[in-house]
Structure 1
Amino acid sequence: MSKKVRDFLRKVKGTISDYGMISAGDKVLIAVSGGPDSMALLRSLDLLKEELDITLHIAHLDHRFRGEESAEDARFVAETAHRLEIPITIEEIDVPKFIEERGLSEEEGARRVRYEFLNRTADAVRASKIALGHTADDQAETVLMRLIRGSGTRGLSGIPPVRSGRFIRPLIRIGRKEIEEFLLELGQDYRIDSTNLKPIYIRNRIRLELVPLLARYNPNISSVLARTGEILAAEDELLSQIADDELTERLSERGQGYVRFSIVGFEGLHVALRRRIVRRAIEMAKGNLLGIDLSHISSVLQMISGEKPNAEVDLPGVRVEKRYSQLVATVHPREDKPRYEYRLDLPGEVVIPEAGVRLIAEVRDERPELPVSEEIAVLDLERLSSPLIVRNRRPGDRFRPLGMKGSKKLKDFLIERKVPIEERDKVPILISDGEIAWVVGYRVDERFKMRDETRRFAVIWIERL
């Protein structure tokens, strides 16, 4: 084994060790396209498999982008697997058709199909890790691409060496030149994807045009950018942990598509921390950060620092509301949420299956002596219009909570009562002639309460099913 090969393997082992990529006994699925990067990944892990105490399996996807050229890639990888005596899974998927049917770009469609294939294959062969052939040059190109498009430290940190504990990139610190020298030392052939030589994608243009231009100013530009990405990744991880800890301390409530946290003293935090906390809260509510950029985060911070005690801002896929000392992030209400509406006679009863309750109504001529309970409403019968309607909430609903002079949005009332977002559309609302008389189980409307002069009473109570 030559010195160049030993040095290359030592670098690969160092990366694996530094990031805890592989443990003894792991089965590693290697994504092999047949290109130089994936072939270097395959050969290095094959040479290290006994030392690392791992088993290998090769995965190759024929995406049918390049016709016979793609088929040749598959044959080349299959022959290599046979020669190295490593089991292989090859799958052919019509990616161009997949892209056309879903209206995706070539890059996004190919990426989605590739990762679905790798995850499915790893599950089938019971591989605990999936190794990808991204290199230091890929890292540099990614940092440049995100810098051009505009990004914070998370984006500029580039490609993560380990993602989701499953995907690993052992070559992330190794440059393309080192890879070519390694393969030359081994006498290992590889395939060339002809589309990589054409400036048809932004990544290709960065690789073929921008990087060579920057190399005139610094011949080591790829190494510098890759190292910058690694530094920013570490710092981003630290700042994210600090922000997560602060958000956890402030968290009041979290449900499906819903996050609420305290903003008391929020203005005293550093702006970088405030941005990350808001960003993380949106991610927790929405499940992702698609469509969210700095301008959206800034609009939320402006709302928090504003004088209005109650305000809201609609962002892509999520609504963020300021409610006094709380900030609430909720996914946008679905237009197709089921509505229900039932009739309640006086006297009478009605089952509300969506809420899991039965409402029972009686008419009494004497003032009832009943325990104080939010599950019982005693109303002025003469102020009610029969039959009553029991329904769930509607946009724009307002009422006058018992004890208040003014009206209040029903939505705000339910938020303040900390009713989980997934439960709010189940809460029964008692309606009399278009007006809310009782938010069932929570509060009577001031206009319908019994008074000293009340002579006839409607007593309505909840029976849980």
Structure 2
Amino acid sequence: MNSLIHKIQHHILTMQTSVQNKKILVACSGGVDSVALVHLVDAMQRQLHYQYGIIHVDHMLRGQQSFEDLQFVRRLSENYNVPFYSERIDIPKLVVQHRDNVQQRCRIERYQFFQQVMEQEEYDILLTAHHLDDHIETAMMQMLRGQKPIGILNERPFHTKCLMRPLLSIRKQELLAYLQTHRYSYRHDPSNDKDDYVRNAIRQHVLPQLAKVEPNYPKLMAYSLEGNQQDEQALNEAAKACLEHIQIEISKDRQIIDCNAFQKEASALQRRVILILLNYLYSNQNEEITYSKRLLNRIQAELNRIAGEQVVHLPNGYQVRRSYNRAYFEKRECLKQGTELSLSLNEIVQWESYTFQLCFQKDIQTFENSKQYYSLSDANLRIRTRREGDRLHWEGMERPKKLARLFIDEKIAKQKRDDWPIIVNERDEVLVVPYLRCRYDVRLNESDEQTYMLIVERN
């Protein structure tokens, strides 16, 4: 097993960031991968000269089992006499509050805690136990989303610190064999056995079939992904150089670019420039921000115009505002009470982090899981902010209910209520409150005899 240690040491030494004389924080869930990482980090400490501590988050999803995971990792840190940091976070409660999925909320809260400890305890590097199998699964998920597969990066900035993944060249089976050889114990999370997550389905059903076709697929795919990452790095460097020529102002809260200069660049560089500018905007956000392909295409199309003025709303209160030949990536002022937009047939309308499209129902062939489809008979629709006295009468209710009460019952944060889009008809009757409720005569995610379909996507 010394060969495994040498392999990981070599991998670490080829990274840009040196670990020597640094304070390293090791994220450990208690499972095979992260427990192996802890033992390996301890074994390499003398040769690579660093200090390390261990950090663990109990997401409180599995009751006593997950609490026992925490106790297990605590004992592991005590055995090695290293600092231990832990937090119990009520993820089920937070998922309801934020109305997002469990996996995303776990990741957000976990990395917020990691950042907090690193800042307070002055750690330089965060280590996570992502391995070669994770690398390949991520690449496959990227392809399923229509993205170029690059997998997971060896290292990346983590706020003002660095996040490193020293196990990316190691198969999970190698880590398991290492633990078994040394008789190291570990915890098992039964949720990893389910295939209701895309990653688990790929792991359990796709990769075993791939191994039958090409047993050496991990090594071959890793080689291909390394090339893709190098290509991406080169293009990103070119995009940064391009940005220097088109930028007018770059600051923490606002970036201004020259659209005339932007339009002279190749389309591939334009897209990367947009991503760089968005990353500047969201650099201080703890939440991981993802951008839909439609949103990125809309920004790119807008920056290739110079006539008039237009605004593209972004997640978390930001916007891209183009005024003739200048584009501003900036924080958006709160929507004023009374703001409204008209919806025209086959036009795509952006409102905050929502995209709306009204079309004929006969044109819809399939329903995508990421969108909501509202079947209705009225094409004279408007999007507006809520108003005093707004009510909605949905199916199963004896009488209409005030939207103010609906927001409270659905635990929508106060700061989000005034910006939430409300769909009304020409009589100003509330038809749809996206992702919450629709009127009794509007059908959600099903076709009927009505003429029109309102498609809503939350970016």
**8 A contact 1:141–1:203 mirrored in 2:** yes
Distance 2:18 2:250 in 1: 34
* Structural mapping, 1:257-276, within 5 Å: 257-264=253-260, 266-276=262-272
2:311 is the alignment partner of 1:318: no
Distance 2:184 2:282 in 1: 47
CA deviation vs aligned residue, 1:129-180 (integer Å, no higher than 9, x gap):
22111111111111111211222x4xx3222221214221111111111111
Which residue in 1 is equivalent to 2:407? none
CA deviation vs aligned residue, 1:115-134 (integer Å, no higher than 9, x gap):
12222233343322221111
Which residue in 1 is equivalent to 2:447? none
Please list every run of at least 4 consecutive aligned residues from structure 1 whose deviation after the TM superposition is greater than 6 angstroms.
none
Distance 2:301 2:74 in 1: 58
* Residue among 268, 272, 281 paired with 2:277: 281
Which residue in 1 is equivalent to 2:51? 55
> Structure 2 vs 1, CA of residues 291 and 272 (structure 1 numbering), >3 Å: closer, same or farther?
same
Percent identical: 24
**8 A contact 2:245–2:261 mirrored in 1:** no
**8 A contact 2:246–2:261 mirrored in 1:** no
TM-score by length of structure 2 reads 0.65
Give 1:274's aligned amino acid: Q
CA deviation vs aligned residue, 1:84-116 (integer Å, no higher than 9, x gap):
333323333322223233223110111122112
Distance 2:140 2:173 in 1: 19
**8 A contact 1:300–1:320 mirrored in 2:** no
* Structural mapping, 1:162-181, within 5 Å: 162-164=155-157, 165-181=161-177
1:282 Cα deviation from its structure 2 partner:
4.3
Give 2:295's aligned amino acid: H
Which residue in 1 is equivalent to 2:151? 158
Give 1:64's aligned amino acid: M
Gaps of 5+ in 2: 338-459
Distance 2:278 2:75 in 1: 48
Which residue in 2 is equivalent to 1:294? 293
Structure 2 SS opposite 1:252: strand
Q: Which protein shows a greater Rg?
A: 1
Gaps of 5+ in 1: 338-465
Distance 1:89 1:173 in 2: 28
> Structure 2 vs 1, CA of residues 235 and 83 (structure 1 numbering), >3 Å: closer, same or farther?
same
CA deviation vs aligned residue, 1:231-272 (integer Å, no higher than 9, x gap):
222221221111111111221123564332224454443221
Distance 1:29 1:100 in 2: 30
2:64 is the alignment partner of 1:68: yes
**8 A contact 2:299–2:320 mirrored in 1:** no
* Structural mapping, 1:98-247, within 5 Å: 98-151=94-147, 153=148, 156-164=149-157, 165-247=161-243
1:72 Cα deviation from its structure 2 partner:
2.4
**8 A contact 2:132–2:171 mirrored in 1:** yes
> Structure 2 vs 1, CA of residues 296 and 169 (structure 1 numbering), >3 Å: closer, same or farther?
same
> Structure 2 vs 1, CA of residues 69 and 233 (structure 1 numbering), >3 Å: closer, same or farther?
same
Distance 2:208 2:16 in 1: 33
CA deviation vs aligned residue, 1:30-65 (integer Å, no higher than 9, x gap):
111111101111111111101111112122222221
TM-score by length of structure 1 reads 0.64
> Structure 2 vs 1, CA of residues 49 and 322 (structure 1 numbering), >3 Å: closer, same or farther?
same
* Structural mapping, 1:73-112, within 5 Å: 73-112=69-108
Residues matched between the structures, number:
328
Structure 2 SS opposite 1:138: helix
**8 A contact 2:150–2:226 mirrored in 1:** yes
Distance 2:165 2:100 in 1: 26
2:334 is the alignment partner of 1:334: yes
Distance 1:128 1:274 in 2: 34
Structure 2 SS opposite 1:158: coil
Structure 2 SS opposite 1:166: strand
1:70 Cα deviation from its structure 2 partner:
1.5
Distance 2:191 2:4 in 1: 28
**8 A contact 1:29–1:130 mirrored in 2:** yes
Give 2:335's aligned amino acid: E
Give 1:293's aligned amino acid: S
Distance 1:329 1:62 in 2: 37
